[in-house]
Amino acid sequence: MYKVDFLESARIETQWPCPACGAASASVGVSVDTGMVELGVQELAQCGVCGSWFFLGEDPVLGYQDDVIEPKYWIHYVQVGAGIDAMLRPVMALGERARGTFLDVGCGFGFVPDFWSKSGRGEAIGLELAAYGKVGKRLLGAEIHHEYLAECEAIRGRKFDFVYSSEVIEHVRDPQGFLKELAGVLAPEGMVMLTTPSASCVRKDFEETRLHSALSPGFHYFLLSAERLETLLEAAGFAFHVVEDNGERLTAWASRVPFEKPGPKPFDWEEYLGYLEKVSERGDPHLKGGMLYRLFKDGMNTGHMDVARRAFPRLEEHAKNAYGIDLNFPNISEALQSPDFLDGSEQYPAWLGGALFMAGIYAGNELHDAQRKLRLLEASTHMLEHEMETGFQFAQEAAAFLPAATYNYRMALVELLSTEIPRGLDREVPNVYARPDKKQIKAFERRLLELAGTINTFARSGLAKWLQ
Ligand SMILES: [Zn+2]
């Protein structure tokens, strides 16, 4: 696991120039202990001229050879790692304008070109050098080439209406050269869409797993500032551009011709969920499970309960058939022994913790089964914790869900206890949790434990664990 330290006093670094602007005056503000033999401790500096952050050294990037990437990486990626909705955001923000030919440079598994063509927007081609591009080509049936842009025969001499490149530019040594290459395959009135980690997320109070992912030492050269990206786009011939910085990621739209600012059109969840539904019909069990999990989770989170209600029994059945997991009486003791989150995801899907959590909420709200809700929520807290301990920067979803799962588990426990103990205890609960006074909560919890002698064993064991 990485250890990120923000340095107390910044040292001025002049040996290594900023890869984003070439200036040789940066202050070293962060050190990252990568825990990897090849990389050791890496230092990160902020450019005094353009504000971008970059890794110091001759070559801080390991390179994307297939043997560097976990061979099973794609399984985790389709199960939970791929933020498909986030990838589609730049496209969705364009609304009806997003029609025509589409090239995705560094398309990964290929979800975006697959979405583009399956949604009837036009022809779409993806380029990907990492191994999971080959897997995506096979499993999605998308047109993906395992070649460099400059060497790809299939697109030689062609110009595309849209050129998209998500989370790629930070992996290249020469961002200006990369943008010029993209400009070379863009139609005269076409539009380039980019996303990349934002320099603004390099700060102490930024959520740890997301910071680790944005930094990705050994894979990323830099985190661009919004201003620098705008300058780079202009220098590549794009006189018109919009760069959004949401504090974690930059999203850019750029063209040689004027265009209407994208958004604020709301994200089209129906179209997104419809796409997941289509992909969930494909044969590969990991891909199918990942789509069913997203359908269920995102259906619930976005209020599309009809989608969630259709997805849940399919997810339940699939969890049982493909992984032997019962989403009613989950036995996760073996999954909790799995030493490596990424490596273990072939056997225990990386969405297990998240699915247990969402299924727990669903059991309460939709199935009105308080016991099942408690069972699933309790299991989810253990599973999510385990995923964080073994998954590190790959456990972003677990990190996001754990606080809510823990809170909901405790509330479910209190709810179940208070319905079975007719002492008006339920009226005390909101007060105790509204004012998070540790002493008061402890006293309340002790009282619950005493009273728990009268209730079912399951809740009692859960409560005892909670108070440990
Ligand atoms: Zn710079």
Three-state SS annotation for 448-468? HHHHHHHCCHHHHHHHHHHHC
pTM to 2 decimal places: 0.86
Per-residue pLDDT at 64: 55
Ligand 1 centre from 218 Cα, in Å?
20
Q: Per-residue pLDDT tens for 308-355? A: 999 999 999 999 999 999 999 999 988 998 888 777 888 999 999 999
Query: Which tens digits make up the pLDDT trace of 271-310?
Result: 999 999 999 999 899 999 999 999 999 999 999 999 999 9
Residue 378 has pLDDT above 70, yes or no: yes
Q: Which tokens is 212 given?
A: 């680790």
Query: 23 CA distance to ligand 1 centroid (A)?
Result: 5
Question: 451 pLDDT exceeds 90?
Answer: no
Find out whether 127 and 104 touch, Cβ atoms under 8 Å. yes
Residue 88 is predicted with a pLDDT of 96
For residue 233, the CA-to-ligand 1 centroid distance in Å is 15
CA of 190 to the centre of ligand 1 (A): 28
The reported pLDDT for the residue numbered 59 is 80
Q: Ligand 1 centroid to 335 CA: how many Å?
A: 46
**Percent of the chain whose pLDDT exceeds 70:** 87
Ligand 1 centre distance from Cα of residue 18 (Å) = 5
Q: Is the pLDDT of residue 48 over 80?
A: yes
* pLDDT at residue 147 is higher than 80: yes
Tell me which fold the domain 3-55 belongs to.
N-terminal domain of TfIIb (2.20.25)
> Ligand 1: distance of its center to the CA of 178 in Å?
16
- Do residues 186 and 31 make contact, with C-beta atoms less than 8 angstroms apart? no
- Cβ-defined contacts of 302-306 (< 8 Å, 24+): 302/269, 302/273, 304/269, 304/270, 304/273, 305/366
Q: Would the pLDDT of 467 be above 70?
A: no
How remote is the CA of residue 375 from the centroid of ligand 1, in Å? 52
437, pLDDT greater than 70? no
Higher per-residue confidence, 464 vs 133: 133
Q: How far apart are CA 166 and CA 90, in angstroms?
A: 9
* Ion ligand 1: residues, Cβ under 5 Å: 18, 20-21, 23, 47, 49-50, 52
Residue 84 has pLDDT above 70, yes or no: yes
Which strands, in side-by-side order, build the sheet including 41-47?
A: 3-13, 26-33, 41-47, 53-55, 222-223
CATH number of 73-255: 3.40.50.150
* 16 Cα: distance to centroid of ligand 1 (angstroms): 11
List CB contacts of 72: < 8 A, sequence separation 6 or more: 342, 343, 345, 346
More confident residue, 3 or 233: 233
Ligand 1 centroid, distance to 53 Cα (angstroms): 8
**Domain ranges for the chain:** 3-55, 73-255, 325-467
Length of the chain: 468
Which of the four pLDDT bands, split at 50, 70 and 90, describes residue 422? very low
pLDDT score recorded for residue 452: 56
* Type of residue at 22: G
Give 46 Cα–ligand 1 centroid separation in angstroms.
Answer: 8
**What is the structure's pLDDT at 430?**
47
* pLDDT at position 315: 98
